[in-house]
Amino acid sequence: DFALNQPLSTFALAAIGLLDASAETYALDVVSVIESTLEDTRQILAAQLNKARGEAVAQMKADGIEYDERMELLDDVTYPKPLEELLGHAFEVYAQSNPWAADARLSPKSVVREMWERAFTFREYVSVYGLVRSEGAVLRYLSDAFKALRSGVPAAARTEELTDIVEWLGELVRQVDSSLLDEWEQLTSPDQPLDAPVSVPARPRPLTGN
């Protein structure tokens, strides 16, 4: 299924090669590399930013920080951007030998990664972030992430945990709207029946206590 068919697929392949395959976070770091190459979904990132700032304000109030200082400190609060420094440096180096990439936009973010780490279902995720009215946009993003993970990571870079994540993500999307993947999978795997059973975890294993 491996195919370099996205604008930054070759960068993602190179960046995955920089990761420590023995690290406990390796599988999720691969997810973060792929997510950084996907087009932003404005509604998701805005919701993440709003939640992060709300939590930061609450903590600063609890710490007794004055209003003016709180407003100044909020400028540094953003949504989660895993591997931002590593990927930013790697992309600068990559763009030097691939000038066309300078027009592309790398955007570290954490949607799939956070859902897996916090054991969110689709419904839980849209509820936590107040994205009920943007369910379609969230689902399209998750569908794009699944396709990129399925086709953009070579077999040599896959681990059992990464395979679990990809299969879980595909099943999550199918359970909400299978039409987003059925046609694509029929095109990429024409010999595979659409109703073939898939063994996946019912929901992701929580990796943190959050």
**Positive or negative, the Cα torsion across 84, 88, 94, 99?**
positive
Q: What is the pLDDT of residue 178?
A: 80
What SS3 string covers the chain? Answer: CCCCCCCCHHHHHHHHCCCCCCCCCHHHHHHHHHHHCCCCCHHHHHHHHHHHHHHHHHHHHHCCCCHHHHHHHHCCCCCCCCCHHHHHHHHHHHHHHCHHHHHCCCCCCCCHHHHHHCCCCHHHHHHHCCCHHHHHHHHHHHHHHHHHHHHHCCHHHCCHHHHHHHHHHHHHHHHHHCHHHHHHHHHHCCCCCCCCCCCCCCCCCCCCCC
pLDDT in tens, 115-131: 999 999 999 999 999 99
Asked if the model's pLDDT at residue 132 lies above 60, the reply is yes
> Which pTM does this prediction carry?
0.85
Q: What is the pLDDT of residue 210?
A: 45
pLDDT in tens, 4-20: 557 799 999 999 999 99
Average pLDDT of 84-111?
93
User: What does the block give as tokens for 41?
Assistant: 């979904």
Average pLDDT of 166-195?
75
Average pLDDT of 74-95?
96
Please state, in angstroms and rounded to a whole number, the distance separating the CA atoms of residues 46 and 73.
18
Asked if the model's pLDDT at residue 47 lies above 70, the reply is yes
Asked if the model's pLDDT at residue 189 lies above 70, the reply is no
Asked if the model's pLDDT at residue 192 lies above 50, the reply is yes
Identity of residue 47: A
Q: What is the pLDDT of residue 190?
A: 56
